């Protein structure tokens, strides 16, 4: 089955700097890669996703890149703000199959 | 607006008791999932369903069961609660387009 590895487990960046979280997956059949943000005491919220027919997708300060050959995908957050502090999860799945999650990255934005 | 709800939000129970956690979604999604979240383990899949009368085991299904009698609900039952089942439980639903939405979670403590 699918296995998703996520790095780093903890990341601290200065406010205004960029943050990058990296993931790898094992199943070459996976074609859907969502990213979730989880704030304290809440359920994970979908923030961006990418499908295998594109290599990059942007939404304001957030971007995701996908390298299907290497089975790598990454989340980039630019101009970080205090409200970006949260736990971020990457995930992978075939289109209508179950989603498998990485173990999460705790992002701290330092003032 | 469509939503996914969980109840109760907090539950304390004793070892050996049967416990049922409710999940209700108004997205009219066929796919529903139960995860547990523990520190260091991320989101682990317990059970999932692709439609009425369909149920499947996830990676950590021992001691849990689900039933799907209608599209909107997927209750999770702990047959005989154990201290190892103390966790935060999240229900999720997923549409045919691939986006998955999570409920707010249930914090379960087994004493």
Residue B62 has pLDDT above 80, yes or no: yes
Q: Which residues of A touch B103 (CB under 8 A)?
A: 43
CA nearest A95 in B: which residue? B98
Residues 6+ apart with CB under 8 A from A97: none
CB B98 within 8 A of CB A96: yes
- Structure confidence at residue B99 as a pLDDT band (50, 70, 90): confident
How far apart, in whole angstroms, are the C-alpha atoms of residue B71 and residue B50?
A: 9
pLDDT digits (tens, 9 = 90+) for A16-71: 999 999 999 999 999 999 999 999 989 999 999 999 888 999 999 999 999 999 99
Q: Which of B41, B99, B105 sits opposite A49 (nearest CB)?
A: B99
Q: What is the mean pLDDT of residues B85-103?
A: 91
Q: Distance, in angstroms, between A20 CA and closest chain B CA?
A: 19
Q: What is the pLDDT of residue A14?
A: 98
- Interface contact flag, B105 A43, Cβ < 8 Å: yes
How far apart, in whole angstroms, are the C-alpha atoms of residue A84 and residue A96?
A: 29
Rg (CA), chain B: 13
Q: Which residues of B touch A93 (CB under 8 A)?
A: 98
Kind plus residue range of the DSSP H or E element containing B48: strand B42-51
Q: What is the pLDDT of residue A34?
A: 95
Q: What is the pLDDT of residue A53?
A: 81
Number of cross-chain residue pairs from A and B with Cβ atoms under 8 Å apart: 50
Buried b (16+ CB within 10 A) or exposed e, B3-30: ebebeeeebebeeeeebebebbbebebb
Q: Which residues of A touch B99 (CB under 8 A)?
A: 34, 46, 49
């Amino acid at each position: 089955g699918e296995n998703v590895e996520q790095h780093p487990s903890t990341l601290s960046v200065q406010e205004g700097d960029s943050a990058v979280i990296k993931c790898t997956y094992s199943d070459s059949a996976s074609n859907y890669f969502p990213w979730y943000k989880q704030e304290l005491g809440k359920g994970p919220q979908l923030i961006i996703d990418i499908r295998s027919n594109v290599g990059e997708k942007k939404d304001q300060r957030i971007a995701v890149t996908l390298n299907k050959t290497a089975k790598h995908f990454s989340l980039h957050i630019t101009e970080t703000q205090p409200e970006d502090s949260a736990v971020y999860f990457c995930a992978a799945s075939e289109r209508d199959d179950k989603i498998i999650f990485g173990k999460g990255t705790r992002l701290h934005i330092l003032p | 607006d469509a939503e996914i709800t969980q109840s109760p939000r907090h539950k304390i129970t004793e070892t050996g008791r049967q416990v049922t956690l409710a999940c209700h979604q108004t997205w009219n999604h066929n796919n529903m999932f139960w995860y547990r979240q523990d520190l260091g383990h991320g989101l682990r899949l317990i059970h999932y369903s692709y439609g009425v009368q369909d149920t499947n085991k996830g990676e950590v299904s021992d001691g849990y069961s689900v039933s799907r009698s209608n599209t909107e609900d997927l209750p999770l039952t702990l047959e005989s609660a154990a201290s190892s089942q103390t966790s935060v439980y999240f229900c999720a639903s997923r549409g045919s387009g691939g986006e998955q939405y999570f409920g707010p979670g249930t914090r379960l403590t087994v004493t």
